[in-house]
Amino acid sequence: MELKRVVVTGLGSLTPIGNTVPEYWDSLLNGVSGADYITRFDASKFKTQFACEVKNYDASEFFDRKEARKYDLYAQFGIVSSNEAIKDSGIDIEKIDLDRAGVIWASGIGGLITFYNEVTDYAKGDGTPRFNPFFIPKMIADITAGHISILHGFRGPNFATVSACASSANALADAFNYIRLGKADLFVCGGSEAACSQPGIGGFNAMQAISTRNDDPKTASRPFDKDRDGFVLGEGGAALIFEELEHALARGARIYCEVVGAGLSADAHHMTAPHPEGRGAYNSMKTALEDAGLSTTDVDHINTHGTSTPLGDIVEPLAIVRLFGEHAYNININSTKSMTGHLLGAAGAVESIASVLAVYNDVIPPTINHYTDDPEIDPKLNFTFNKAVKRIVNVALSNTFGFGGHNVSLIFKKFKD
């Protein structure tokens, strides 16, 4: 069968460096760090006392008090960012086939804050089981997809994807495939996460996965730098509208770019550590290129997973050089996690927006906080350190990897009729 073409027609985001897409993009280009000391709880006894929290967020601006009580913070982030994307797309709900409009929404963890609060309250009590009737619906990872569909009447395919930090990239890959197979006209796809909490920080501290640079939080996320000491936990949400090309053209939609390839793989190696040779990363990128019908020399930009962890930041460049050969040195590579921190299950979507806008605007955001080269990383690679770069970006690849060895690579291409 002939596959349909898929384009991006709407964007929405709520991030540690901007609560709308224009704010987020402006901060990316200006190298703004979203890291600061934690405000949501007293973190003075934790090994890590900072995170990339969403700033100046007031739920009452988006929900009435009764409605807000039904949503965990991760779901609020998802609803707000998806509403922005739908508005940005210019979709007229009354003029589309709602049976062919779907939602695929991701979260790696779901309602962690709700779970923590409910269990803590129970443990402090006398053992009488008093739980909020919204406890389970607020906590489960699929509920945001349900809320988005209910709010807008989208009756097409509706589900959640969970693959740790690759979750929202999986959501985008699934939406891409459903549309090109002709099973839907459009999707709201993306992810949200709100794990900047006591169990979130404490759990990642116990794993020794996050930075403890408490004396200088804003420079703590330093991908590919010799002195990196772990990722910085982030939160927020990001939504993209994926749409079948003819459907978008028929309604006169603005098209940001085309989605042309998706590659998925597994490391099959370790619960949390990447394959030491980057085998999974190599396979997901290779599969995405094959899916798109592109060669390695077509790629202009790679937004890496680049978390600022000791092992991951060595392995991914190895995979890039292995796959792209000499052309790897012509590619502008970056890690926007240097600014946003790591949004866990929402990372793939928020970074895909950065890749889409790089293609649309022909400018690549920097990798900030680079001070010292790592001798274990190929010095000829161009990581776009510390300053945005203007160049023609016809093809951008976005990598997202997750605990459990999940790998997703997505390819965005400048739209041409």
**Segment holding 334, helix H or strand E:** strand 332-334
Per annotation, catalytic residue among 147, 247, 275, 305: 305
Per annotation, catalytic residue among 165, 189, 196, 257: 165
Work out the percent of the chain whose per-residue pLDDT is above 70. Answer: 100
Per-residue pLDDT at 87:
98
Per-residue pLDDT at 417:
82
Which residue from 364, 77, 58 is spatially nearest to 234, judged by alpha carbons?
77
- Spatial separation of the C-alpha atoms in residues 41 and 394, rounded to whole Å: 44
**Segment holding 198, helix H or strand E:** helix 198-207
Fold match, 7-250 / 260-413 = yes
Using the predicted structure, report yes or no on whether residue 403 has a pLDDT greater than 90: yes
pTM: 0.97
Residue-wise pLDDT for 29-51, tens only, equals 999 999 999 999 999 999 999 99
Residue-wise pLDDT for 134-145, tens only, equals 999 999 999 999
Structural domain spans, the chain: 7-250, 260-413
The 3-state DSSP class for residue 45 equals coil
- Spatial separation of the C-alpha atoms in residues 125 and 131, rounded to whole Å: 11
Which token pair is 380? 């000829």
Sign of CA dihedral 291, 295, 301, 307: positive
Which token pair is 140? 């489960």
Cβ neighbours of residue 411 closer than 8 Å, sequence gap 6 or more? 259, 260, 261, 262, 288, 289, 291, 292, 294, 299, 395, 396, 397, 398
Quote the distance between the C-alpha of residue 55 and its chain's center.
Answer: 18
Residue-wise pLDDT for 156-195, tens only, equals 999 999 999 999 999 999 999 999 999 999 999 999 999 9
Using the predicted structure, report yes or no on whether residue 299 has a pLDDT greater than 90: yes
Per annotation, catalytic residue among 275, 301, 342, 406: 342
Superfamily of domain 260-413: Thiolase/Chalcone synthase (3.40.47.10)
The neighbouring-strand residues paired with 261 are: 411
**342 classed as catalytic:** yes
Residue-wise pLDDT for 302-311, tens only, equals 999 999 999 9
Using the predicted structure, report yes or no on whether residue 86 has a pLDDT greater than 90: yes
Q: Are 250 and 186 in contact, with CB atoms under 8 Å apart?
A: no
3-state secondary structure labels for all residues of 233-266: EECEEEEEEEEEHHHHHHCCCCCCEEEEEEEEEE
Which token pair is 156? 């097409």
- Write the DSSP string, 261-321: EEEEEE--S-SSSPPTT-HHHHHHHHHHHHHHT--GGG--EEE----S-TTHHHHHHHHHH
Per-residue pLDDT at 104:
98
Sign of CA dihedral 282, 283, 285, 290: positive
Cβ neighbours of residue 53 closer than 8 Å, sequence gap 6 or more? 16, 34, 36, 38, 39, 40, 196, 234, 235
CATH annotation of 7-250: 3.40.47.10
Mean pLDDT of the chain: 97
The neighbouring-strand residues paired with 105 are: 160, 190
Scanning the structure block, which residue is given the tokens 């509706």? Answer: 158
Overall average pLDDT of the 60-68 stretch? 95
Sign of CA dihedral 321, 325, 326, 331: negative
Per-residue pLDDT at 1:
79
Residue-wise pLDDT for 309-346, tens only, equals 999 999 999 999 999 999 999 999 999 999 999 999 99
160: left (phi over 0), alpha (psi -120 to 50) or beta: beta
Per-residue pLDDT at 246:
98
Q: How far apart are the first and last CA of the chain?
A: 21
